[in-house]
Amino acid sequence: MPTSFDPSQTYARLNADSAIALLPGGEAFWSQPEARIEEAFSTGWLVCESSCDADWSHWEMHPGGDELVYLLSGSAAMLVEADGIVSEIPMSGRAAVVVPRGAWHTARVFAPSRMLFITPGAGTRHRPAAS
């Protein structure tokens, strides 16, 4: 039977076969061992909501496909690196950005924000953001 859920606490994985699997989200997801996160991320697209109160501490890159970042509230900017050039894309109120496959990206947060992500997780990489 269908049920409603909070996408900040329950994540949805959109599988290639068009099925949707619900996963424990929030801290329950991100505190798992890295291998478990990679397993959950390795197929399909992860749909999750997150609060962002500060600049991201890392850059990330998704070689498996484009990522949709949808700002639900607040004010932030996505920094997207392509060919060694970083573009800053402002987002306020409600806005969305498509981050191209393979582009390194991070966020600057100007006001507490809520973001919804649709992320192709296979092969996701991270690197620290410079202080």
Delineate the domains of the chain, giving CATH numbers in brackets. Answer: 10-123 (2.60.120.10)
Question: What confidence tens digit (pLDDT) does each residue in 78-123 have?
Answer: 999 988 999 999 999 889 999 999 999 999 999 999 999 999 988 8
Q: Tens of pLDDT along 16-62?
A: 888 999 989 888 888 888 888 877 777 889 999 999 999 999 999 99
| Residue-level pLDDT at 50 | 93
Q: 65, 126 in Cβ contact below 8 A?
A: no
Closest to 60 in 3D by CA, of 21, 14, 101, 17: 101
The set of residues, in sequence order, having a beta carbon less than 8 Å from that of 30 and lying 6+ positions away, is 37
CA distance 110 to 75: 5
DSSP state of 18: S
pTM reported for the whole predicted model: 0.89
